[in-house]
Amino acid sequence: MKEIEDFLRENKPRVKNDPAFILEAQRRMESVEGIKSEVDRQHRRGRVALVVALAAGLAVGVLVTALAFLYPVDPESMADGFWDSARLFVQTWKMYLMVLVAVLAVALGLVLSRPSGAAIRS
């Protein structure tokens, strides 16, 4: 067994010292950097869109709920038009609308409290 061990130690594979290898590795790393920054940019863009959507939903939800509480409608005196139906719908489901507004507020808070690059780094 000693001969085999000596044979292996004396005949280690030798590699050519190739500067092109490091250059190629650096070129690939630059490509990786390019892809990383593009993914990062797209994540940032998606995050901005999400924040805008959540904020808009929250504002509209708060407004509609406030109106439903401030100007309650009388179902008896309403005509059958679209806006009357919508007002009646809001009046009936205003408690659920408040829950939806609360959910939007929590989601917005969570999105804003997350570090911007978290999605890429995790």
Partner 1 sequence: MTRERFITELRQQQEPLRRFLLALCGGDDALADDIAQDALVRAYVASGSFLGLSKFSTWLFRIAYNCYMDHCRKAKPQQVDVEAAVQIPSADTADASFRYQQLYRALNRLPEKEKAAIALFYFEDRPVKEISAILEMPSGTVKYQLSMGRQHLKQYIQL
Binding stretches for partner 1 (CB under 8 A): 1, 3-5, 7-9, 11-18, 21-22, 24-26, 28-29, 32-33, 36, 121
Closest C-alpha among 61, 122, 47, 56 to residue 90 = 61
Minimum distance from residue 68 beta carbon to partner 1 (Å): 49
Minimum distance from residue 13 beta carbon to partner 1 (Å): 5
Under 8 Å CB-to-CB from 116, ≥6 apart: which residues? 43, 44, 47
> What whole-number distance in Å separates Cα of residue 84 and Cα of residue 72?
12
Minimum distance from residue 121 beta carbon to partner 1 (Å): 6
- Based on CB atoms, which residue is closest to partner 1, 3 or 74? 3
- Based on CB atoms, which residue is closest to partner 1, 16 or 83? 16
Under 8 Å CB-to-CB from 40, ≥6 apart: which residues? 117, 120
> What whole-number distance in Å separates Cα of residue 10 and Cα of residue 5?
9
- Based on CB atoms, which residue is closest to partner 1, 82 or 121? 121
- Based on CB atoms, which residue is closest to partner 1, 56 or 120? 120
